[in-house]
């Protein structure tokens, strides 16, 4: 385990320890610790989970159990422009699946993957609460509404 | 304080925000300054107006003019015409689709006529980041009343008599819940708000948090006083950054005003609120799972009893209510239980907020009195089905609910009627579907969701739903048999009877209600291998109309599996056994000779 931890940069290690300290290394604050770590790193690599387990004095398996349980936590780094397609019911009945297929085709990606150059990643989400604009997708923090499959190429091109 | 002549209200809800409402606000502010009007006209960013279909919405007070689909560049015309010259900008007014008349006042619009706004009373009316505006609308008056009376039992009695039931889905009487928690003695108790809205297609909690966060703070403090809790916790989705921000602002202002913290309003009662972030797990809407998640664990439910009222957060008595339930509390105290219980049906009092979505003209957030019929909601408020298509079904209750057909259109909406019809109230998603929706696929869509969101703790839900999903996939792929339909029904009942928590027990509802109401459609998939709605890809048939086909060979040349045969200038045919239903021929045909059946 020690070997893996050395792989992380010293400043990253220190930042994670700082986050854990902020929450008094309380096991009950695990989810808050994970939220802030993911905010900082963009994802939760195995090394980070091991370090958090050490700080909070809980088994690594427990940390991994929580990380894998919640959809919001991810162990793969997201792209520079993370794309999320809403698959909530309102979007679904207005054709969200076809929009998702168009993104897959345009980026040559499956859901949950990131492009090799690290530019784009593709995920699905459940309802952003903009059902009036269905079907909806988000690129970063920007919401695109009333989508049709033929608009996808243009949206991706905005970020290239 | 400045005496404004006009107030410009701009919707800052998620839908309108995504359509550049922030830029609209900026433009108004800039132009007012240029015209030296900033002391005569106030610009306010509000919460959701509800009419998301026609967003972004801009409303002008005092004349109550309701502008729809406003673009950032329209700000100039509104200021020049409306504000300076007093002439309304007709082209931005709502156009009634039936009469083709422009309606300038929202009160005369079909979408608002039948609504009654209690929980959403302040959304779209006040600036959610300014506590003074909430106070001006009777905010914190109920809290003052409760603290002055200094009799928690009186307050609980008012809530009990009002008939308010939990708006999160199951409909448990709120007053009774408070009473149960009050009876348990402990050194610390917790008042918890469930703001982890996970139901796809429902966004009422988010709209209340974004549009009127103070109502939640006031109601939680009242609740805390009643059950004897000095700590409040809001479990909120991390995916709702705007709601989190507004709630934090409101909590900060309430503390400053002495409405949260020590010795509230000089009563000696202490209460404060903290936020806890959810991380995207549908099952955390279940109260025991939610409590585990707040403790930093996996959000798995546990068997009840013990109920949270006895052993909840950190093993202390806790009370969990939903955002919309809380939003009703201050109004009930201010206006009295008699008033509240006069609205609604015999067993379901008050109003319910629904997120109206799907194939309907007026998508948006609505609040209606209990007992209204689905027909009134869909045709009068919702403006009917999009593109003049035929109504097929309405889905209520999200992944735990069911699909209702035409025969239920005149059933009054309340907790009992919806359950009797095979669905449920749920948190208030209402998805309208037209004839192009395949009901087997819809059932599969919900099962997709349940399979993904099942926490895996009990086998009926973990394995059973997976099997249901497999059978549904088999049917939509054209490999189903009549025996599969029997098995689907049997398995669904087993899961319903044996799953541990509310999520598992209700997860087969979409399957059961579609089987019951759309039996013929299931049979068509199985026996005729046909999807009547034309949605199931594997059951689609591409057919060339020999009268329209010119024999240009475009389809045959582009078919990736060479399933199309024919000679030049003669009608072509598709070999159905070889066809992979990719749709290339359909796209390539210039003469519309290919149809999908």
Locate B273 and state its tokens. Answer: 């609120």
**Whether B79 contacts B31, CB under 8 Å:** yes
Q: What is the pLDDT of residue B201?
A: 77
Judge if B36 and B136 occupy the same domain: no
CATH number reported for the structural domain that contains residue B360 in this entry: 3.10.20.600
**Whether B10 contacts B125, CB under 8 Å:** no
Q: What is the pLDDT of residue A6?
A: 54
In this model, does residue B33 exceed pLDDT 90?
A: yes
pLDDT band at B72 (very low <50, low <70, confident <90, very high): very high
Judge if B41 and B178 occupy the same domain: no
Where among A69, A98, A127 does a domain terminate?
A69
Mean pLDDT by 10 residues, chain A (160 residues): 62 95 94 94 93 96 95 89 90 90 94 91 84 88 90 93
Residue B126 lies in a domain: no
Q: Which of A89, A94, A124 to mutate to test the interface with B (most CBs of B within 10 A)?
A: A89
Q: Tens digits of per-residue pLDDT, B554-570?
A: 999 999 889 999 999 99
| DSSP per-residue codes, B35-91 | TT-TTTEEEEEES--S-GGGPSPEEEETTTEEE-S--TTHHHHIIIIIIII----GG
**Whether A38 contacts A15, CB under 8 Å:** no
Which chain A residue's Cα is nearest to B240? A128
Question: What percent of chain B lies above the pLDDT cut of 70?
Answer: 100
Q: Which residues of B touch A142 (CB under 8 A)?
A: 18
What region, left, alpha or beta, does residue B583 occupy, with left being phi > 0 and alpha being psi -120 to 50 degrees? left
Beta partners for B95?
Answer: B102
Q: What is the arithmetic mean of pLDDT over B304-327?
A: 96
Judge if A55 and A123 occupy the same domain: no
Q: What is the pLDDT of residue A127?
A: 78
CB pairs under 8 A between A and B: 126
Q: What is the pLDDT of residue A2?
A: 47
B505 by Cβ neighbours in 10 Å (0-12 / 13-18 / 19+) ranks as middle
Chain-chain contact of B52 with A130 (C-beta, under 8 angstroms): yes
Question: What mean pLDDT, rounded, does chain A reach?
Answer: 90
From CA B44, how far away is CA B24, in angstroms rounded?
Answer: 11
CATH number reported for the structural domain that contains residue B46 in this entry: 3.40.30.10
Q: What is the pLDDT of residue B497?
A: 96
pLDDT band at B2 (very low <50, low <70, confident <90, very high): low
Any idea which of B24-33, B235-244, B382-391 has the lowest mean pLDDT?
B235-244
Question: What percent of chain A lies above the pLDDT cut of 90?
Answer: 69
Chain-chain contact of A28 with B200 (C-beta, under 8 angstroms): no
Chain-chain contact of B200 with A89 (C-beta, under 8 angstroms): yes
Q: Tens digits of per-residue pLDDT, B420-440?
A: 998 999 889 999 999 989 999
Judge if A93 and A38 occupy the same domain: no
Judge if B417 and B362 occupy the same domain: yes
Q: What pairing do the DSSP bridges indicate for beta strands A81-86 and A120-125? A: parallel
Residue A76 lies in a domain: no
In this model, does residue B253 exceed pLDDT 70?
A: yes
**Whether B281 contacts B297, CB under 8 Å:** no
* Domain residue limits at A32: 2-69
Q: What is the pLDDT of residue A3?
A: 46
- Å from B259 to nearest chain A CA? 27
Judge if B318 and B359 occupy the same domain: no
Q: What is the arithmetic mean of pLDDT over B177-189?
A: 96
Selected residue with higher pLDDT from B329 and B540: B329
A132 closest CB neighbour out of B53, B199, B239: B53
CATH number reported for the structural domain that contains residue B577 in this entry: 3.30.70.20
Q: Indicate the helix (H) or strand (E) that contains B396.
A: strand B391-396
Residue B124 lies in a domain: no
Beta partners for B272?
Answer: B231
What is the 3-class SS of A123-144, one letter each residue? EEECCCCCHHHCCCEEECCEEE
From CA B102, how far away is CA B121, in angstroms rounded?
Answer: 25
Q: Indicate the helix (H) or strand (E) that contains A31.
A: helix A30-41
In this model, does residue B256 exceed pLDDT 50?
A: yes
Judge if B306 and B395 occupy the same domain: no
From CA B222, how far away is CA B207, in angstroms rounded?
Answer: 21
Q: Tens digits of per-residue pLDDT, B571-591?
A: 999 998 888 888 888 888 999
Q: Tens digits of per-residue pLDDT, B99-156?
A: 888 988 888 899 999 999 999 999 999 999 999 999 999 999 999 999 999 999 999 9
Sign of CA dihedral B326, B331, B333, B336: negative
pLDDT band at B1 (very low <50, low <70, confident <90, very high): very low
Chain-chain contact of A131 with B295 (C-beta, under 8 angstroms): no
**Overall domain count for chain A:** 2
Locate B299 and state its tokens. Answer: 């959000």
Q: What are phi and psi of B542, to 5 degrees?
A: -95, 125
Q: Tens digits of per-residue pLDDT, B6-25?
A: 999 999 888 888 888 999 99
Judge if B290 and B218 occupy the same domain: yes
**Whether B49 contacts B12, CB under 8 Å:** no
Q: Which residues of A touch B437 (CB under 8 A)?
A: 93
Q: What is the pLDDT of residue B398?
A: 87
Judge if B192 and B266 occupy the same domain: yes
**Overall domain count for chain B:** 5
Closest to B315 in 3D by CA, of B184, B226, B225, B195: B184
Q: What is the pLDDT of residue B241?
A: 83
From CA B267, how far away is CA B544, in angstroms rounded?
Answer: 80
Residue B106 lies in a domain: yes
Strand blocks (E) in B227-341: 231-237, 272-278, 318-322
**Whether A65 contacts A30, CB under 8 Å:** no
Identify the three-state secondary structure at position B570: coil
* Domain residue limits at B477: 439-528
Q: Which of A59, A105, A111, A131 to mutate to test the interface with B (most CBs of B within 10 A)?
A: A131
Q: Please compute Rg for chain B using Cα positions.
A: 27
**Whether B50 contacts B366, CB under 8 Å:** yes
CATH number reported for the structural domain that contains residue A51 in this entry: 1.10.10
Q: What is the pLDDT of residue B203?
A: 86
Q: How many CB atoms lie within 10 A of CB B238?
A: 19
Q: Tens digits of per-residue pLDDT, B265-276?
A: 999 999 999 999
Q: What is the pLDDT of residue B408?
A: 94
Judge if A39 and A103 occupy the same domain: no
Residue A125 lies in a domain: yes
Judge if B302 and B408 occupy the same domain: no
């Amino acid at each position: 385990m020690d070997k893996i931890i050395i792989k992380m940069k010293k400043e990253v290690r220190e930042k994670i320890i700082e986050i854990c300290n902020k929450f008094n290394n309380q096991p009950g604050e695990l989810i808050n610790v994970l939220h802030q770590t993911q905010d900082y790193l963009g994802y939760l690599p195995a090394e980070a989970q091991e370090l958090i387990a050490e700080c909070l004095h809980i088994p690594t398996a427990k940390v991994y159990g929580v990380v894998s349980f919640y959809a919001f936590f991810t162990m793969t780094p997201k792209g520079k422009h993370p794309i999320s397609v809403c698959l909530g019911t309102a979007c679904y009945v207005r054709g969200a699946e076809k929009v998702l297929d168009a993104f897959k085709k345009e980026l040559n990606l499956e859901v949950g993957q990131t492009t090799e150059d690290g530019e784009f990643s593709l995920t699905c989400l459940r309802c952003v609460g903009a059902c009036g604009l269905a079907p909806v997708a988000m690129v970063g923090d920007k919401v695109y509404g009333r989508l049709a499959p033929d608009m996808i190429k243009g949206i991706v091109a905005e970020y290239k | 304080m400045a005496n404004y002549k006009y107030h410009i209200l701009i919707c800052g809800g998620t839908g309108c925000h995504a359509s550049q409402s922030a830029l609209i606000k900026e433009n108004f502010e800039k132009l007012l300054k240029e015209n030296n009007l900033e002391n005569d006209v106030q610009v306010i960013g509000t919460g959701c107006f509800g009419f998301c279909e026609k967003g972004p919405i801009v409303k002008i007070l005092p004349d109550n003019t309701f502008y729809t689909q406003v673009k950032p560049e329209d700000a100039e015309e509104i200021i020049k015409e409306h504000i300076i010259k007093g002439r309304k900008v007709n082209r931005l007014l709502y156009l009634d689709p039936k009469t083709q008349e422009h309606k300038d006042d929202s009160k005369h619009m079909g979408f608002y006529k039948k609504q009654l706004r209690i929980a959403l009373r302040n959304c779209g009316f006040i600036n959610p980041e300014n506590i003074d505006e909430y106070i001006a609308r009777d905010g914190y008056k109920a809290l003052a009343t409760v603290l002055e009376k200094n009799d928690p039992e009186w307050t609980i009695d008012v809530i009990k008599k009002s008939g308010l039931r939990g708006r999160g889905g199951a409909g448990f009487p709120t007053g009774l819940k408070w009473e149960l928690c009050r009876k348990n003695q402990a050194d610390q108790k917790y008042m918890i708000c469930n703001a982890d809205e996970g139901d796809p297609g429902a966004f009422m909690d988010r709209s209340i948090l974004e549009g009127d966060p103070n109502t939640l703070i006031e109601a939680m403090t009242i609740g805390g006083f009643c059950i004897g809790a000095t700590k409040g916790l809001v479990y909120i989705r991390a995916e709702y950054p705007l709601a989190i921000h507004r709630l934090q602002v409101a909590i900060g202002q309430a503390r400053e005003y002495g409405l949260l913290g020590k010795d509230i309003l000089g009563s000696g009662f202490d209460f404060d609120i903290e936020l806890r972030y959810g991380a995207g797990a549908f099952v955390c809407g279940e109260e025991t799972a939610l409590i585990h998640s707040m403790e930093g664990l996996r959000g798995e439910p546990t068997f009840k009893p013990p109920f949270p009222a006895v052993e909840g957060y950190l093993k202390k008595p806790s009370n969990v209510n939903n955002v919309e339930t809380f939003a009703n509390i201050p109004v009930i105290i201010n206006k009295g239980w008699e008033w509240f219980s006069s609205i609604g049906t015999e067993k379901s009092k008050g109003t319910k907020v629904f997120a109206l979505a799907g194939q309907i003209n007026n998508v948006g957030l609505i609040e209606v009195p209990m007992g209204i019929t689905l027909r009134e909601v869909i045709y009068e408020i919702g403006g009917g089905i999009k593109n003049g298509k035929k109504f097929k079904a309405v889905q209520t209750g999200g992944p735990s609910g069911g699909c209702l057909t035409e025969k239920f259109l005149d059933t009054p909406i309340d907790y009992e009627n919806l359950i009797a019809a095979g669905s449920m109230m749920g948190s208030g998603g209402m998805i309208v579907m037209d004839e192009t929706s395949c009901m087997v696929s819809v059932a599969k869509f919900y099962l997709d969701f349940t399979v993904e969101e099942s926490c895996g703790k009990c086998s009926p839900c973990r394995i059973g739903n997976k099997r249901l999903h497999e059978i549904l996939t088999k049917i939509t792929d054209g490999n189903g048999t009549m025996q599969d339909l029997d098995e689907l029904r049997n398995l669904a009942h087993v899961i319903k009877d044996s799953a541990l928590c509310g999520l598992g027990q209700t997860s087969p509802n979409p399957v059961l209600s579609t089987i019951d109401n759309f039996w013929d459609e299931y049979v068509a998939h199985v026996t005729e291998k046909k999807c009547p709605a034309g949605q199931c890809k594997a059951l689609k048939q591409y057919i060339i109309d020999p009268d329209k086909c010119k024999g240009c060979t475009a389809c045959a040349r582009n078919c990736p599996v060479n399933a199309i045969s024919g000679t030049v200038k003669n009608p072509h045919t598709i070999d159905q056994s070889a066809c992979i239903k990719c749709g290339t021929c359909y796209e390539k045909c210039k003469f519309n000779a290919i149809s999908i059946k």
